[in-house]
Structure 1
């Protein structure tokens, strides 16, 4: 799971300044994935959601996001309300065993949903199913 800010007008350092914290990962407007790739038209600012030894399920990672605090959510909300950026929480779910109940379903609690609303964040769920 990770929090992503995308902007066509702000570089990652400008996003960090507005949010009051640095990104874990970022790409700049005009940068290239490979030398032959076209320049990127938008910047991406990412903060990874890391748990402490849990299964990595979204409900196990909620405390990490909530610990970022309401002030960070408000700063994200100001950015999301501006024409400069879009904010989203990205949940990546990989399913390798459809019979394993730990690999199915996504639960997001009311506190996390309220934090995301304050942050003006959309929810992006990417699911990948790998079967033999």
Structure 2
């Protein structure tokens, strides 16, 4: 079972350094407008700024990530909302789920509690769930 979570900010106007300055936090990963994933690919048309939600325990489920994300505080959520409020960016919580055993009940379902949903609403963030099922 494998879950990964991160906050992603996407903008077609701001560069990663601008987003970092407005949020007061550096990203774990960022790609600027005009950069290329590979030399043969076209330049990116938008900035992508990512801050990982660190897994608190091995085999963590989405509800295990909640205290980590909430520890980032209301000021950070409000700063994220400031980006969306100016329509300079979109913000989302990305949840990546990899299912390796389709019969395992532990690998199914995603629970998001009221505290997390309130924080995301404060941040003006959407939820993006990517699911990958690995099977024979």
Quickly name the TM-score band, shorter chain normalised.
Answer: over 0.9
The TM-score normalised by the length of structure 1 is 0.97
Match of 2:101 in 1: 97
After superposition, where does 1:71-86 map in structure 2 within 5 Å?
A: 71-86=75-90
Unaligned runs of 5+ in 2: none
Which of 9, 15, 21 is residue 17 of structure 1 equivalent to? Answer: 21
Instruction: Summarize deviations over 1:32-78 as a string: whole Å, max 9, x none.
Output: 11111111000000000112224221101001100000000000011
- Name the count of aligned residue pairs: 132
Deviates more, 1:2-11 or 1:78-87: 78-87
Match of 1:67 in 2: 71
Instruction: Summarize deviations over 1:104-131 as a string: whole Å, max 9, x none.
Output: 0000000000000000000000011111
Unaligned runs of 5+ in 1: none
The TM-score normalised by the length of structure 2 is 0.94
Match of 1:115 in 2: 119
Which of 12, 28, 48 is residue 32 of structure 2 equivalent to? Answer: 28
The RMSD of aligned alpha carbons is: 0.8
